[in-house]
Amino acid sequence: MAQAYVTETGSEGAGPDRQGSRFRRLIDGWRGDRGIWRRGLVTAGVAVFLALVMLFHAQIPNGIGNLGSLTETFLPWLGVLIPVLLVIGFVRKSAVALIAVLLPAIIWVNSFGGLITGKSATGGDLTVATHNVNADNTDPSGTARDVAASGADVVALEELTPNAVPTYEKALAGTYKYHSVQGTVGLWSKYPLTGTKPVDIKLGWVRAMRTTVVTPKGEVAVHVAHLPSVRVKLDAGFTANQRDASADALGEAIADEKLSKVVLLGDLNGTMNDRALNAVTSQMRSTQGAAGDGFGFSWPASFPMARIDQIMVKGVEPMSSWTLPETTSDHLPIAARLEI
C-alpha cells in the first residue's frame, strides 16, 4: 500500500506558542553576552536626559528665548521619543538602555497618563464652547453655524474682525438671543447678560471681556480672552513676553471677580503646563484635565499638537470636555458641559 504524505502549509505554529518561543530565543541569545551592560550607553544617556527634562521642566530657565515655556508647550510630545529609545535598546541588545528608558516612561505616565483615560461624566446644566474663528476665515457664517450646532448654551468667539462681526451676528441670531462684542472677542448666550465690560490685558486694544450670564441655576461670571500670539524665531527664541504680561493682567481680573462661579473661555496661546500662565492656571481648573477624554489638542486644526484654547472654571464642576469638528479656522472649537 502506498503511503500518502501531506505537507501542511497553513498558519501552524504562528500562534502564541511560536511567538513565545521567539521571545525565549531572543532572551537566550542575550544570556552570557556581557556586552548587554556595555552597549547602548548613549541611548541610556538620552533616556536619562529625557527623564530629567520631563521631571524638572519647571527649572528650565526662561531667560534665554523663553526656552522653559517652549518646552512646556509641547511637553506631552516628549513621550514620542520613549518607544524610539525602546526600539534602539532592543536592536542594540542593551540592558542598560532598556532599564534607563523605564525612567522617562514612568514619569510620562505619571504626568499625562490620566489624560488618556476617559473622565467624562453624564449630567451638567450649562454647555459652553469657545472658538478662535481666525481673522482670515473665508466662511464665517459656516463657522458660526458649525459652532452653534454643538448645542452650546454659551459661545465665545475670538479674533473677530469689524467686517466679519455682522456675519456672525446674523448667523447666530436664531440660536442666541443675547450677545456682546467687545473689541475682537464676543459672547453669544441663550441666557441674559449683565455687567458686560471690556477687560484690560495691557495691549492697548480690547481682546478680553467679562460678563455675567444669568442661567436658570444662578449667575455665572464668564470671561473671554484672546492672549497675544507667540512665535518661535531663530534669532529670538520663543517670543512670548507680551503674552506673559497679558496673562498676568488676566489673572488679576479673575482674582478681582466678585462672583464665586467663574468660567474662562478663550485662546490663551499657551498650555496648562506653561508656567507663564500661572497667574490664571493657579486659580482655575481646566475642563479637559478634569473631565476630558484625551489631550484635546486644538491647534493647528489640520494636525493638532497643542491645546492652546482653554475652558477653565472656578466654583463650577466640569462634567465633560471635548473638541468639536474642524471649521474653516486654523483652530478647533472646544466645548464643555458644566454643573452649575
- What was the pLDDT predicted at 28? 61
CA distance to 16, 119, 271, 315, 336, per residue, from 320 (Å): 40, 7, 19, 16, 5
Task: For 51-81, write each residue's pLDDT tens digit.
Answer: 999 999 999 988 777 888 889 999 999 999 9
Q: Give the pLDDT confidence score for residue 231 in this predicted structure.
A: 72
Binned at pLDDT 50, 70 and 90, residue 27 comes out as low
Residue 245 C-alpha cell reads as 504680561
Which amino acid is it at 123? G
Residue 15 confidence (pLDDT): 58
C-alpha closest to that of 157 among 270, 288, 165: 165
Global pTM reads 0.86
b/e sequence 145-172, b meaning 16+ C-beta within 10 Å? ebbbebebbbbbbbbbeeebeebbbebb
Longest CA–CA span in the chain (Å) reads 102
Weakest-pLDDT range from 17-26, 30-39, 330-339 = 17-26
> Residue 31: is its pLDDT beyond 80?
no
Task: Tell me the pLDDT tens digit for each residue of 233-254.
Answer: 555 456 678 999 999 999 999 9
Using alpha carbons only, give the angle 137, 139, 143 rounded to the nearest 5 degrees: 90
- How many angstroms separate the CA atoms of 246 and 265, rounded? 15
Residues 6+ away with beta carbon under 8 Å from 335:
127, 128, 129, 130, 150, 152, 311, 321, 322, 323, 324
Question: Which cell numbers hold the place of 307?
Answer: 491645546
Q: Residues near 133 by Cβ (< 8 Å), separated by ≥ 6?
A: 140, 143, 144, 157, 158, 159, 160, 164, 168, 327, 329, 331
Q: By C-alpha distance, which of 51, 50, 37 is closest to 98?
A: 37
Q: What is the pLDDT of residue 238?
A: 61
Q: 3-class SS at 26?
A: helix
Neighbouring residues of 105: CB distance < 8 A, sequence distance ≥ 6 = 82
Cα dist from 73 to 68, 103, 176, 279, whole Å:
9, 21, 34, 16
pLDDT digits (tens, 9 = 90+) for 277-331: 999 999 999 999 999 989 999 999 999 999 999 999 999 999 999 999 999 999 9
Q: What is the pLDDT of residues 143-186, one digit of tens each?
A: 999 999 999 999 999 999 999 999 999 999 999 999 999 999 99
What are the helix (H) ranges across the chain? 16-30, 41-55, 67-73, 81-91, 95-116, 140-148, 165-172, 241-255, 278-281, 287-291
pLDDT tens sequence across 208-225: 999 999 999 999 999 999
State the pLDDT at residue 116. Answer: 83
Whole-number pLDDT of residue 63: 79
Antiparallel, parallel or unpaired: β 262-267 and 218-226 = parallel
- For domain 126-339, is the CATH number 1.10.167.10? no
Strand partners, 225: 208, 266
Q: Indicate whether 131 pLDDT > 60.
A: yes
Q: Is the pLDDT of residue 26 over 70?
A: no
Domain boundaries, given as residue ranges, for the chain:
16-116, 126-339
Length of the chain: 340
Give bridge partners of residue 193 from the DSSP assignment: 213
Across the chain, what does the average pLDDT equal? 90
